[in-house]
Structure 1
Amino acid sequence: MARTIGRWTGGTLTARSFLKPHKVAEAVFHPAWIPPSLDPAIDKLKRIRVIAGAVASIGVYTVLEGGFDVTELLENALTASAVLLFLTPVTVGVMLLVWRRTGTLRQLRTPLLNSLALLLLFIGSVVALALLVQTTNATHGPLVIIAGGAAMMWMLVFVARGAFRVTGNFFGTGAVHRCLPALLSTVTSWLVAVPDLVTGDLHGLGLTLGVVFILGAPVTVTAIALLETGRLKRRYGIRLGAHPAGHPPVPGPVPPMPPGAPTGHPYIPPQGNPYAPGAGNPYAPYNSQTPYNPRTPYNPQAPQGS
């Protein structure tokens, strides 16, 4: 794997960018070292997986059970962050043991450290938002409330957009292995859902709704992850159990059409009739309007000067 190219944000952030928290989140939580998707179909699968994963991580029951509560939402986010902090390194460690049989792990060090840094950065943002909300709610000064409220709204947009990005790229683990984000999203969604089923905590939704809402998201995430990994295997030869260094080279970007190319195939020269009368046809009859062509054959029926 290549080392990180350029800066973390790829030089996309400016001073004015910080007025738009979603732009900052895009640059911070989808850094320049994350490889682009191989084709649009995988992008669509990832977007669907992000939606289903959000249902599993946040919980639809948060809205259905007594209305929307920011405090409960933050508590769920903190719990999910703790799960990610524990589960992601364990899952990646298991896969490293698998890949170690067919390749070395030293070349994976840089993308692994980058992914770990992105994970810690997101968890730190969630913790900072939770502390900011608690501090603002516990303060009675009007100026502090106004300043804290503005900062809280900025952080809320920043974290929400960041959660969307890191769920899609799963903390940049695609730079380690293309199939790793699908695996991690599947394992995480089931780990979030299974304890509620085991303990019988259906959050007041009843047996039917509880099972549907709790199991619906991980089942959907698993199905989409299987489609995603299956497509990577069929079209690009990328297998989850194979070391990343052993994957075949992925196709590069399609070259752009040359400027001024005619309509049709851009690499075929313009075609015409090579036997039409004119200077370009060596077999065309000579006349006064036709320029002299030294390649014109001698005509014995019309001798020179006749």
Structure 2
Amino acid sequence: MWVLVLFPCTWFVIPPLLLCYSFARSARLRAHRLFPVNAHRRFDDPQVWRVQKARAWTAAAMSVLLLLVYGKPEDFGEAQQQYMLRLAATPPLLLVSAPVVIALLFRVASPQTRAEMRARVRAAGRTALWYVGAVTTVPLCLVGITLADRGSTAAQDPWYSTVLTPALALPMVWLLFFLGFATGPAIRSGFNAAEVHAALPALLTGVLVWEFAALSLAAGGTPPGPPLVQLLALLGGPASVTAVAWWEIGRLRERYGIRLRG
């Protein structure tokens, strides 16, 4: 408060910053309560993380090498567009794919495992609904603000917009902070899929990588290079991710007794 007294010119800066900080702190606490940062690590296996990291760096290096050897100038821009497309498509694809994979896993699981999974599925579903609700409410708030502004202009009543705009803008700002803090942990954990079954993150990864391959093929076509290189680039990445995912599931079975069936 002493800053406001000593520097009156900051009155229009400090209060909004303090409000944004309180919103960010509140949204971060709520996001990490719903989607813990380490929720995807139900069993901490350093060997799995090392293999996953090595595969990711190898894939990134091969992608850059492919662009440098066979790519055209426009291919670099297209690669950036596909990367942004994947970032935008990951949450909806995960929300659609997770129920299907959970249903298939539920079908092959033993009766005892099904009973344990039911309560966990409900808990994971509630957290996913929080995320879906936030994503849905943000554009609704934007529409409400736009309509309030137009209504104020048409009615020549500035108080109409003055009251409604903050009432919609403040929740929208909080929700944007919430989505910013929740999206990363939610994607890594498959919307808390690991709490339902320890093998679900690996299964979801194996499914999503093929969906991304189909999406990239539909949006940008085949990678640059000769036909054989195109085929290897198109299938090699998803195949390697799938192989690592099944290897991880095998380690869960051998080290922790986690099984898909029975």
- For 1:62 and 1:24, locate their aligned partners in 2 and report how far apart those are by CA, in whole Å: 36
Q: Which has the larger radius of gyration?
A: 1
In structure 2, list runs of 5 or more residues that go unmatched: 1-20, 61-75, 153-160
User: What's 1:202 paired with?
Assistant: 220
Over 3 Å counting, the alpha-carbon distance change for 1:211 and 1:130 in structure 2 is farther
In the alignment, does 2:138 pair up with 1:129?
A: yes
Name the counterpart of 1:39.
44
Q: CA deviation at 1:215?
A: 6.8
1:157: which partner in 2?
177
> How far 1:113 sits from its partner (Å)?
1.1
Partner of 1:296: none
* AA aligned opposite 1:22: R
Contact 1:45 1:228 in 2 (8 A): no
Higher share of residues assigned helix: 2
Q: 1:150 to 1:92 in 2, by over 3 A?
A: same
CA contact (8 A) 1:189 1:221 kept: yes
Q: What does residue range 66-215 of structure 1 map to in structure 2 within 5 Å? A: 77=88, 80-100=90-110, 103=112, 105-136=114-145, 140=149, 151-197=171-217, 199=218, 201-202=219-220, 207-208=223-224
Q: Deviations over 1:56-89 (max 9, x none)?
A: xxxx978834998xxx89xx74x55543343221
Cα RMSD, aligned residues only? 4.7
TM-score normalised by the chain length of structure 1: 0.50
Give the Cα–Cα distance (whole angstroms) in 2 for the partners of residues 24 and 65 of structure 1: 32
Equivalence map 1:236-255=2 (5 Å): 236-239=256-259, 241-243=260-262
Q: Which amino acid aligns with 1:37?
A: R
- How far 1:131 sits from its partner (Å)? 3.0
Q: Distance in 2 between matches of 1:213 and 1:149?
A: 45
- TM-score calculated relative to the size of structure 2: 0.57
Please report how far the alpha carbon of residue 238 of structure 1 lies from its aligned counterpart in structure 2 after TM superposition. Answer: 2.3
2:255 to 235, 256, 266: 235
Q: Distance in 1 between matches of 2:192 and 2:131?
A: 12
* Residue in structure 1 matched with residue 80 of structure 2 by the alignment: 64
Please name the residue that 2:11 is paired with. Answer: none
Taking structure 1 as reference, are residues 40 and 98 closer, same or farther at Cα in structure 2, changes over 3 Å only? closer
After superposition, what is the alpha-carbon deviation per residue over 1:217-252, rounded to whole angstroms, capped at 9, x for unaligned?
Answer: 74564354344323323322323x234xxxxxxxxx
Alpha-carbon distance change, 86 to 212 in structure 1, aligned in 2, over 3 angstroms: same
CA positional deviation for 1:93: 1.0
Matched AA of 2:261: A
- 1:74-108 per-position Cα deviation (integer Å, ceiling 9, x unaligned): xx74x5554334322121111111114x7462332
**Cα 1:212–1:165, aligned 2, differ >3 Å: closer, same or farther?**
farther
CA–CA distance in 1 between the matches of 2:147 and 2:181?
A: 26
Q: Cα 1:136–1:228, aligned 2, differ >3 Å: closer, same or farther?
A: farther
Match of 1:5 in 2: none
2:36 maps to 1:26: no
Highest RCO, 1 vs 2 (Cα 8 Å, sep ≥ 6):
2
Which 4+ residue blocks in structure 1 deviate beyond 6 angstroms? 60-63, 144-147, 209-217
Contact 1:29 1:162 in 2 (8 A): yes
- Give the number of aligned pairs: 208
Post-superposition CA distance 1:155-192 (Å, at most 9, x none): 33321321111122212222222111110122123224
Contact 2:24–2:178 (8 Å) recurs in 1: no
Q: Which runs of 5+ in 1 are unaligned?
A: 1-15, 244-306
Letter paired with 1:168: R
**SS in structure 2 of the partner of residue 119 of structure 1:** helix
- What is the identity, as a one-letter code, of the residue corresponding to 2:46? A
